[in-house]
Amino acid sequence: MAFAAAILAGTAKLEDCPYITEEERTRIEELIAAPVMKLTFGTRKPLSIGGARVMHRHELKFYNPTAIAFKATDAQGEEEVEAATKRSLELRVERLGENFGIDAIAIASDSGKAETFSRAAGQIMRITDLPIILCCSRPEILEAGLQACGTEKPLIFAAEKGTLESYIELATDHHAPLTVAHGDLGELRLMAKKASDASLDVALCPVSQSLAEALEKCITIRRAAIAHKIREFGHPIITVPPSLIKVSKTTQESLWHESLLTSALLFRYADAAILENAEIEQMLPIITLRHGVFSDPRVPAKVKPGLYRLGKAGPDSPVLMTVNYALTYYLVSGDIDKAKVDCFLLVAETEGMSVLNALAGGQLRAETVADLVKQINLNAAVNHRKIIIPGLAARLRGEIEELTGWEILVGPAESRDIPLFLNRNAS
């Protein structure tokens, strides 16, 4: 029973059961399969999207973070393709010690010429190992692009009603997954069925005129797959946020529009988004939101324990202590920022528990703090021998003093009072 529950929660694997027969395994696998199929494209650096199991994050968790693709165009010559692609690849966003960038490169056949498209696709293949999305609307151009990609298994974007048959043929020949696109969900369902009947991996693009419409369609598609088990809708959703932008915008305007549209769509079931810009101020919010929305709500968010230097803290700067629950850490470091006093922040390992919970659960004890002080060699970092502990942990004061020989000051119980505390004690 416990094993069955763990299988459902995704924390155990069916292979770990030694007693199961092959037949039983196939049956159970069908039963527990995610209602949204997983699709993998690219071979040198394969990327998987889809695999959703729930409508709401709190019901389990969201799987496979929305892939962010940058779209280059073949219309402005080879140099421009190279420059734009390279620039997008330089983008780096750091979250809690992890690094993120663009997940895929899309190339659009805006030139309308097969040869140009094929050259651009080949060029991108040489620049990066990232998986490729081929954006074009004519079979003869698509064919040229697919040939340039060789065995790379690019994602095709997208078959429309009139090109479906020829796109299915090309996708089959090149073992490439196929996106089907239509504004009408009935038609989209039909197209998806034809493509998956041809044994292709399928993605869906619900064509829309506005964000409200796009969200409604994404929600309907996902509800159809998860709540109503309609298999033709059980495929990843590909979106093109810039296509929703109204009237012509300046570059700065399209940046924030793209950013907002993408954030909304990634929260509501888009498995990939194809963007036209890759600027940091637009991408930082998207990747920050994605990191949060796709985090496991059952696991407390943690930061690495240790000594954090805030601002330009030096040997005379105060040392404050807190725990490694991510929200606590953010709150405290944010409030220290507000105080405009450079500080060291000593972060104790409490398995992602907040101060109160860690005190109650025994993850935060005087020894935890004493060991950390020794381990990171706090003696060497500052000239003084004073640590400010959270007001809620006041009862550990005496014991920490005994164990470390440091003077322990009791800080405020509420993080928001830190600026007041620091500024009062500084003057």
**Cβ neighbours, 10 Å, residue 395:** 11
- Residue position matching structure tokens 């696998």: 29
Binding residues for another protein, rule: CB under 8 A, are 56-58, 95, 184-190, 193-194, 197-198, 209-213, 215-216, 219-220, 223-224, 228, 232, 244, 246-247, 252, 255-257, 259-261, 263-264, 267-268, 279-282, 284-285, 288-289, 292-293, 295, 297, 301, 326-327, 330-331, 333-334, 337-338, 416-417, 420
Gap between the Cα atoms of 210 and 249, Å rounded: 16
Q: Is the dihedral of CA 138, 139, 144, 149 positive or negative?
A: positive
Residue found by looking up tokens 């090149």 in the block: 174
Nearest in space to 169 (alpha carbons), one of 145, 132, 194: 194
Q: Which is nearer to another protein, 91 or 134 (CB)?
A: 91
Question: 169 Cβ partners below 8 Å, 6+ apart?
Answer: none
CB 103 → another protein: shortest distance, Å?
19
Taking the complex as a whole, the smallest distance from the CB of residue 415 to another protein amounts, in Å, to 11
Shortest CB 412 distance to another protein, Å: 10
| CA of residue 190 relative to chain centroid, distance | 31
Closest distance of CB 58 from another protein, Å: 4
Residue 243: CB minimum distance to another protein, A: 12
Nearer to another protein, 51 or 311 (CB): 311
The alpha-carbon radius of gyration of the chain (Å, integer) is: 26
Least distance to another protein, CB of residue 272, Å: 19
**C-alpha to C-alpha distance for 72 and 116, rounded to whole angstroms:** 13
Comparison of 142 and 211: residue with beta carbon closer to another protein = 211
Q: Which residues contact residue 392 at a Cβ distance below 8 angstroms, ignoring those fewer than 6 apart?
A: 355, 356, 359, 413
Q: How far apart are the first and last CA of the chain?
A: 62
Q: Which residues contact 320 (CB under 8 A, 6 or more apart)?
A: 332, 336, 343, 344, 345, 346, 387, 388, 389, 411, 418
Amino acid at 15: E
Which residues 6+ apart lie within 8 Å of 197 measured at CB? none
- Comparing CB distances to another protein, the nearer of 56 and 312 is 56
Which C-beta is closer to another protein: that of 13 or that of 424?
A: 424
Could you give the C-alpha distances from 374 to 228, 256, 358, 380, 393, in angstroms and in order? 57, 47, 21, 10, 20
Q: Which is nearer to another protein, 64 or 118 (CB)?
A: 64
Least Å distance, CB 330 to another protein, is: 4
The token pair at 170 is 């090309």
To another protein, the closest distance from the beta carbon of 347 in angstroms equals 16
Q: Is 10 left (phi over 0), alpha (psi -120 to 50) or beta?
A: left
For the bound state, the minimum distance from the C-beta of residue 221 to another protein, rounded and expressed in Å, comes to 10
Which residue lies nearer to another protein by CB, 10 or 285?
285
Instruction: Indicate the residue among 138 and 294 with the shorter CB distance to another protein.
Output: 294
281 vs 402, beta carbon nearer another protein: 281
